[in-house]
Chains A and B, each alone.
Chain A
Amino acid sequence: GGIITQTPKFLIGQEGQKLTLKCQQNFNHDTMYWYRQDSGKGLRLIYYSITENDLQKGDLSEGYDASREKKSSFSLTVTSAQKNEMAVFLCASSIWDNYAEQFFGPGTRLTVL
């Protein structure tokens, strides 16, 4: 087994600010993901990384950057926070396989004032 840790749990930002969210996993998984969840909706993929130093865009990559610093960590940056934006960002990891089971972290809740 393993766990996924996301920091911070809550993030409050100002309009136009650059904000960084961090994710760590100790599953020793190759692949990591960032998803966004809007209130009452399902998750949508922002970025994923097949292995260290790899980066792949998801459906929602505009307005975000990502960085896979090492196998166990994957960061997401909101390049310019949008006023009144509220969403939860969830990190996940899996072995590398097109249809592998993904495991999720507890999420970071973003509020932009």
Chain B
Amino acid sequence: AQSVAQPEDQVNVAEGNPLTVKCTYSVSGNPYLFWYVQYPNRGLQFLLKYITGDNLVKGSYGFEAEFNKSQTSFHLKKPSALVSDSALYFCAVSSRGGGSYIPTFGRGTSLIVHP
């Protein structure tokens, strides 16, 4: 079985400060990792993914994430937060060779950026 943990239900950060939204995973085989964002009353939007290669992945809207195999983590980061980044963020994992290629999503982390 595969699983994703987002240990923080909510993250608060001041505008202009760096932000981190944490994600850890458990999977058999090589993990494929994704971040999505959900704005109120909207579906999820794809931000970025790690499949293979460079551990630092850059995505939409200035977000990036770092894959750390030894810590089984895939934290989402942004150097300078905007109020418009306030939303619900989901981490997801899929896999081949023991896991499931259907992604398993975390419960989500609410990011609140204060002006």
Same complex origin of A and B? no
| Chain B interfacial positions (CB closer than 8 Å to A) | none
| Chain A interfacial positions (CB closer than 8 Å to B) | none
